[in-house]
Chains A and B, each alone.
Chain A
Amino acid sequence: MAKQATEKSAPPVETITIKIDGKEVEVPKTMPDPITGKPVATTMIQACKIAGIEVPHYCYHPKLPVAGNCRMCLVEFGMPAMGRDRKPILNDDGTPQVRKMTLPYEPGTPRGAIACATPISPGMEIYPNSPATKQMRESVLESLLVNHPLDCPICDQAGECKLQEYSVEHGQAESKFAETKVHKPKQVDLGPRIMLDDERCILCSRCVRFSKDIADDDALGFVNRGSYNTLTTFPGKPFDNNYTLNTVDICPVGALTSKDFRFQMRVWFLKETKSVCTSCATGCNITIGSREEKIYRYEPRDNDAVNACWMCDEGRLNYKWIGRKDRLTAPKRNGREGITWKNAIDDLATRLSEFEPKTTAIIGSARQTTEELYLLKKLADHLDAITDAPARVGEADKLLVNADKNPNANGALVTGFCSGEPGSNLSKIATDIRSGKIKQLIVIGEDVTKHGISAKLLEKVELVLVSDILPNETTKKAKTLLPGSAHAEKRGTFINVKGRLQRFLKAVEAPGDARPESEFLAELLTIVSGESYPSNPEGLFNKMAAETKALADVKWADIGDLGVDVKI
């Protein structure tokens, strides 16, 4: 896959050969720092990851600066022995002698090093599975669990809790701690979206580092000492930046909880679907957690080419409209239900064939999938219609949020549905309606009354076809109204602001008789044009890609979970 990911042709990095678990591994001498991007010495934990061995850790996070305070990643290691002449001591067979590190004052006891902060050096040996390493892990876990409340039945993290997982994997079955645990407040309101359970916190400081170094809002910190050490915000200052919910994701235990998701559903019931956020043109990769056709949460999904492993709170919480009670669920003609999809589409096809060229306008939406915009463009070509999609402009920030609030403006460009900036044709369409030049209007996925075509102006045209997800002023006036699907209810692709083509999968069923727009548009277009259009997204995408210059040699299967870059 030549186009997969962003391949930066960085200069080759010098490598070091070390031994991990008895196997020789060649690892780069330096790796980019997660914050500055400058090369820094590779650490043991990174080397182990390259070797395919996971060293358990809490405070270490690949995208955050190293803190080294949880001690979970302690490993036993050895270094080449040096003689008094500062030359390596050799074994009888000529190989350098490696000595396991021991405590200087107690030579019989192995000395561990924290894998997250110890740089590797040539000839080093790491023993991530040795008995000494295992014992260190057991002891660290025991100490972390001293004041942990063990209230897993009421903890939202249960099921995805690192403390649970490592306790099972590396811990002891019984606690030796007979004293009374230190109790801390359980419902601390940190900000509008975050609730903190102080007792559960293991003081890894991931959230502190995230807020300071990634979100650029140095809002969190620790107060008090020893067992009374507590995470807190500055007095009177709420933790309310637009990225706070990421701290819930990176919290290895259930200390930081999302007020939105709190006590809503246990995580092991959630079906995880790979998808893309639709709140702005950045197109952060997300995982949709759903159960029984209800969406419970969005979580960011790792993609270094787009969003690393973060997403903004605004995008994360923008899912509730999908499950709204007033969704459009049945095709309607003149405001009345009772027509079948087949009837509706056959009628539409007949009606469209009666149109005179150049008398139709199609207003689509840059929130539709690329495939849908392609079909709309084809329909427009067939009717010789004028097309456009409204622009949505908001505020951008330095991290992820883009000013363009449409997730697929570039899809509209690539397919030719919008010839320039989205929204540039809208005023012309309005003028042409006023002058009577445009007699029919097709609207897909937008409320045009909010984009310069007033409800009064809509009286002047025949609103042949309207498709939307939620009812609005435009859907009220539709001659034929077809219920569409939200992105979580269908498969398709978006092209983000940087030209990354990303695909999303279906998480839940659309309510009632609602169908994906690409499906019914393909059916309609097949009848109208006489050419066959596949109604499944794979076939449609491949057909579109073959016909579109920018997507020239991309196939649906090539897009993968992380997307591919295309030239706009």
Chain B
Amino acid sequence: MIVQRKELSWWERLYIPAIISGFRVTVRHFFKKKVTMQYPEERWVVPEGYRGAPYLVKDQDARTKCVSCQLCEFVCPPKAIKITPPGPKVNKSTGNVEKEPADFEINMLRCIFCGFCQEVCPEEAIFLQKDYSLTGESREEMIYHKDKLLELGGTHQDDIMKWAKKNQEAKAQGIA
């Protein structure tokens, strides 16, 4: 296709009016509200439902909610999650939940923040939170382990508390 070049008029060939109108736009923006932010001191407030980095959470009784079912590890498209199961040794501290991961790693360099882990989790133990800017000085540092993930994840108000409820029921029936 041949594009016909438009012949410029005398007024247009002067250039001065075009420069002036350009400056007018620039000057107008001096007095408008700023659209940029002083990152990293100022940060963008993410909207509700934003998918940031996935972190592990504890419930209001400070129990690690993850039970190491490894569904997130299975569903994770970039294989960013690696869970070390607890193994057969009976852990008295977990009570009727029996299982808690020995380690939980998320490679934040691999994570694509898709949210499948949160969606698949049967225990509501992992949530995509609002962090979008993760930095580190080495690859190892960007692999977040269980303790770090729990610290960043914080507490999730669990309305169901199914394990505590089961425990209560069992106790009421005389099962320790």
Contact = CB atoms under 8 A, between A and B. Distances in A.
Interface stretch (B32-40, B90-98, B107-115, B145-153): B90-98
A263 B169 contact: no
B173 A263 contact: no
Given A154-B99, A184-B175, A263 B69 contact: no
A213 to B, nearest CB: 29
B66 to A, nearest CB: 9
Contacts of B166: 149, 183
A183 B169 contact: yes
Given A154-B69, A260-B88, A180 B98 contact: no
A259 B88 contact: yes
A489 to B, nearest CB: 24
Contact of A153 (B69, B90, B96, B169): B69
Interface string A256-285: 000111111110110000000000000000
A548 B92 CA distance: 60
Nearest to A266: B70
B23 interface: no
Contact of B68 (A181, A183, A187, A263): A263
Contact of A183 (B87, B90, B98, B170): B170
A269 B69 contact: no
Nearest to B102: A263
Interface in A36-79: none
A185 interface: yes
A187 B95 CA distance: 10
B67 A269 contact: no
Interface residues of B, number: 24
A263 B175 contact: no
B70 A269 contact: yes
A266 B96 contact: no
Interface string B68-107: 1111011000000000011110100000111100000000
A262 B90 CA distance: 10
Given A186-B96, A187-B98, A263-B87, A180 B74 contact: no
B122 interface: yes
Nearest to B167: A183
Interface string A178-196: 0011111111000000010
B59 interface: no
B85 A264 contact: yes
A190 to B, nearest CB: 14
A154 B166 CA distance: 14
A186 B176 CA distance: 9
Interface in A152-203: 152-154, 158, 180-187, 195
Contacts of A153: 67, 69, 71, 99, 122-123
A260 B169 CA distance: 30
B67 to A, nearest CB: 5
A263 B86 CA distance: 6
A249 B169 CA distance: 30
B74 A268 contact: yes
A382 to B, nearest CB: 50
A41 B99 CA distance: 47
B168 to A, nearest CB: 10
Interface in A325-373: none
A127 to B, nearest CB: 36
B95 to A, nearest CB: 10
B40 to A, nearest CB: 38
Interface in A122-165: 149, 152-154, 158
**Of residues A259, A261, A266, which shows the largest number of chain B Cβ atoms within 10 Å of its Cβ?**
A266
A154 B98 contact: yes
Contacts of B122: 152-153
A154 B67 contact: yes
Contacts of A149: 166
A195 B87 CA distance: 13
A268 B74 CA distance: 8
Contacts of A184: 175
Given A263-B98, A263-B99, A269-B74, 13 more contacts: A153-B99, A153-B123, A154-B98, A183-B173, A184-B175, A185-B175, A261-B88, A263-B68, A263-B85, A264-B87, A264-B88, A265-B70, A269-B70
6 contacts: A183-B175, A184-B175, A186-B96, A262-B88, A264-B88, A266-B74
